[in-house]
A = this chain, B = another copy of it.
Amino acid sequence: MEHKFEEKLQLLPGNELELRLGKVVAAMTQADIDGVLVSDNANLFYLTGRIFCGYIYVGRDSMIRYFLRRPSVLTGADVHRIRKPEDMATLLADLVNADTNVGFTVDDTPYSTIQRLCKAIGSPRIANGSAVLRAARSVKTPMEVKLIVDSGMRLSDIYRRLPHLYREGMTDIELQIEIERVLRLHGCLGKFPVSGPELEIFMGNVLTGDNADAPSPYDFAMGGAGLGPSLPVGANGTVIRPGKPVMVDMNANFDGYLADSTRCYITGDCPEEARRANELSRRICEAIADAARPGMEARKMYELALSMVVEAGMTDFFMGHRSHAGFVGHGIGITVNELPVLAPRSRDVFAAGNVIAVEPKFVLPGIGAVGIENSYEIMAEGPARRLTDAPEDISSLD
């Protein structure tokens, strides 16, 4: 009676799969790629709605084949059970040969795995399939936007109630752990998906006081020394003091799709500089949301932010103080660092359906980090739609 355990591998509704395949094939055509062999978890999830151990081949004609290693209970049309990559050879022999241009997920899969996969399917020319999927994924379907909206609402609800988690004398990490617990109890999966193996983060960042100015190896907007040299980012055990803002930027992965939002909190009186910088951050977010339109270059948004920062005389504190992050926003979705990137040298151009996080942040020496982050959807017409709606002022913890 093994069949009673069977489960469909493909979890996406037919029209949703069609939408996603359409985007992938469009990007393949533009890159002159004949097929894409997907081997990383994020892209397997994008194309099926689940993570499994195996591979997916997508042809330029939208044909899709699934090669399943584990778990063996998954079934469906075009699902081929394999024990090892080499078992794909005969199953792809009609599609792949030494003259085919196959996109592999070269930015997301180790060198040795790609080499083996390439040989296993007949040694085609290796093209950049990661770039194809990155381009496709940068424009969300309505279903994807809905999942991000849902994650954003859940995170915003927790940000609203966050002052209830604070007790006098807490350290940054103690407050973070209570937020982690509430996030988890509300369904957060914990896993914080990031593209690329270098960026590591646990459940997000809670930064207060001087720790906000500790440079980290990771290319996140804000640093922090972290709890140790094997994960040097975020909270470091600093006691939360009156007049020192607490910046909270936590993981909102509730369903495989991330929203991204930051809010600041304070106990005691809020220094005027902190309030002003937070207000500037809020105004930059608003200006970017007002200006962002399909067809616009993403780097223009960085320039817009920078011009407001320069006018306010806040350049030295923008996106860090001792070290500066070189962007003001980024795409979000299955991972926290997708396209488009809002950075000076970005070549990305906005399209309707992009979902971005905008995070103009400031580090004020002797005070700490302030600023907000919201997630937005780029609309076909009109301003970008805000997806994260907790109050934007620095909230009192008292």
**A residues lining the B interface (CB < 8 Å):** 5, 11, 40-41, 45, 49-54, 69-73, 104, 106-115, 126, 128, 130, 173-174, 177-178, 180-181, 184-185, 187, 189-191, 196-198, 200, 202-203, 215-219, 223, 227-232, 253, 255-256, 322-323, 334
Contact = CB atoms under 8 A, between A and B. Distances in A.
A70 B256 contact: no
A231 B72 contact: no
Per CB-CB distance, the 3 closest pairs between chain A and chain B, nearest first, are: A230-B256, A50-B229, A71-B215
B112 A110 contact: no
A41 B197 contact: yes
Contact of A229 (B49, B215, B228): B49
Contacts of A40: 197
A335 to B, nearest CB: 11
B180 A230 contact: no
What is the oligomeric copy number? 2
Given A51-B217, A217-B51, A217-B70, A197 B110 contact: yes
Nearest to A237: B187
B202 A189 contact: yes
A322 B5 contact: yes
Contact of A72 (B113, B215, B253, B256): B215
A112 B115 CA distance: 11
A73 B223 CA distance: 13
